[in-house]
Structure 1
Amino acid sequence: MMVLIGILIVMLATLGGFALGGGNVLVLLHISEYVIIFGMALGLLIIASPPHVGRDIVRKVVGAVFGRKTRRDGYFDLLKLLYELFVLGRRNGLIALEEHISDPEQSVILRKYPDFLAHEEHRNFLINALRPVVDGRIKPDQLESLMSTELGAKAEEADHPVHLLQLVGDSLPGIGIVAAVLGIINTMASLADGPEVVGERVAAALTGTLLGVFSAYGFVNPLANRVRMNNLDEMQYLRCIKVAVAGFAKGLAPITAVEVARRSLESSVQPLADELEAALKSLPLPGKA
């Protein structure tokens, strides 16, 4: 929602200021310039990005415009979920976690947290982190390195759309110059048509330059930065899982492992320690009356 508000402010400030200065907004509607600039930008994006990255760009942009970052309540639920799993593993043995990671859709613990269960990437990351612990195929001190490697790969993949959006943003001013030069060529070819026609075609050429710069700095580059911020939020969520699972695998008590994970979060989304502790102690846990 905030992205849409920002876009509206940019449009109103630009067009409103132009109108207040005595300009006619309709003068900016030169369809040929829009076709050149946005057509070239789209072609550049297709040339530069493999198909799967192109799909990621669409998904990431839609998420940046209409999605929202994980809030404190989301992390609160994540920490409670982790605590429940850790307590189960500590009291009943790690093998007790097998049914929850082999069929998460039927897990009585995971089903209590539908938002987490519905998010495939979050769910799979947790399951992949717990599975080698349950199976005993890896030493606890090796698990953290394994999860760090996976996080690094995910972070690199998530940044591909950012780099391509920045490429488009950096190219748009140059594309605007191309559109302007094409407009000037048309203008020079119509000098004999009189000053009115020449003036209209010069205005169209200048509109091309304006569109290129305006689109780059008003929309594409800020949108790329928002996608990057969303990626950082996603990595923070997964890193919270990594810190908690690695701590538990090394022998930390469930509540301590969750506390370490809580402290890894930014202050804007970090649950309060006392509030979280009270919520964890009130959870109905296995073997607890």
Structure 2
Amino acid sequence: MIGMIGIAVVFVMVFGGYVVAGGKLGVVMHALPYEMAMIGGAAIGAFLLGNDIGTVKTTLRDIGKVFRGARWKPGDYQDLLCLLFALVRLARSNPVALEEHIEGPGSSALFARYPRIAADHEAVDLICDTLRAASMNYDDPHQVEEMLDKRMEAAGHHALASSHALQSMADALPALGIVAAVLGVIKTMSAIDQPPEVLGGMIGGALVGTFLGVFLAYGIVAPFATRLKAVAEEDGHFYILIREVLVANLHAHPANICVEVGRQNTPHDKRPSFADIEGALRAAKEAA
């Protein structure tokens, strides 16, 4: 919702201010389709040229995040802590029983309790791979933490691909606007024998290209890129929580302490209270 409000404010303030100041929208609207075709088409072509098909698809899919926001909500962080508590406790009490959950998370009763987490392959793989490695005696906390850091760094780089692609487009749009404006000037110069009122309209239409390139760059595309980056970084905290709990487990802390470490490393606006976690863990134990 806030994304739609932001777009509405940008358009109302820019075009409303122009009209209130005495500007005529007729010139802008007349030139807009042609300038938009040149600038928008060139921007899309450059976007396709500068990115592979995977990045293109990911970017198109991620644009919705500008309006939806981060994937992981406060309840998901609480569910993740409950899931990790159950897995850590099981790893301590019955390593053999743990194996069926980490080798087949799709059929695991533990993972099935938290369908949103179970549907995220990155989270499930991160949990299962780390617990599996610990069962194979790869359990040095510092080495595992370093390995998880590198893995999450790679995942974070991939998550930011859409933001980088849109930012590159935003950087190019003002220059493409100048290209369109220069073409408009060339068209105007070829009609230099026309009366001043005609030339004025043609020059105004040419300047629409410069306006449109700058407007799209800094009013639409760059904010989209910034928002996608913020969402990717916000969702990244979910995987950081997994790292913190599993590394705490390798330090041989009790399961409830591991969960508390994760809770305290949860972003403030997503962090469940200590009482909420205690209640959720108690309910999970009763359900088990």
User: Equivalences for 1:31-50 in 2 at 5 Å?
Assistant: 31-50=33-52
Corresponding pairs, count: 286
Pairing of 1:134-283 with structure 2 (within 5 A): 134-283=135-284
CA distance in 1, matches of 2:54, 2:71: 23
Partner of 1:192, secondary structure, is coil
Query: What SS does structure 2 have at the residue aligned with 1:180?
Result: helix
Q: Unmatched 5+ residue regions in structure 1?
A: none
SS of equivalent residue, structure 2 residue 231: helix
Q: Contact 1:87–1:285 at 8 Å: present in 2 too?
A: no
Corresponding residue of 2:16: 16
Partner amino acid for 1:195?
P
Taking structure 1 as the reference length, what is the TM-score of the superposition? 0.92
**Which letter maps to 1:235?**
G
Counterpart position of 2:67: 65
- Following superposition, the deviation at residue 153 of structure 1 comes to 1.1
Contact 1:141/1:250 (CA < 8 Å) preserved in 2? no
In 2: Cα distance, 1:159 partner to 1:279 partner: 33
* TM-score normalised by the chain length of structure 2: 0.92
Residue 70 of structure 1 aligns to a residue in which SS? coil
Partner of 1:25: 25
Residue 112 of structure 1: CA displacement? 0.7
Point out 4+ residue stretches in structure 1 off by more than 6 angstroms.
Answer: none
For the residues of structure 2 that align with 1:226 and 1:183, how far apart are their CA atoms? 34
Counterpart secondary structure, 2:63: helix
Contact 2:43-2:169 at 8 Å conserved across structures = yes
Q: CA deviation digits over 1:66-97, x for unaligned, max 9?
A: 344422111111111111111222222x2221
- Match for 1:181: what amino acid? V
Indicate if the aligned counterparts of 1:155 and 1:231 stay in contact, CA closer than 8 A: yes
Give structure 2 stretches of 5+ with no counterpart: none
Q: CA contact under 8 A between 2:237 and 2:266: conserved in structure 1?
A: yes
Residue 245 of structure 2 contacts residue 259 of structure 2 at CA under 8 Å; is this kept in 1?
A: yes
Q: Hey, what's the Cα distance between the residues in 1 that align with 2:68 and 2:74?
A: 19
Q: Structure 1 counterpart of 2:181, which letter?
A: A
Q: Percent identity?
A: 32
Shift of 1:179: 0.9
Partner-residue secondary structure (3-state), 2:284: coil
Equivalent in the alignment of 1:74? 76
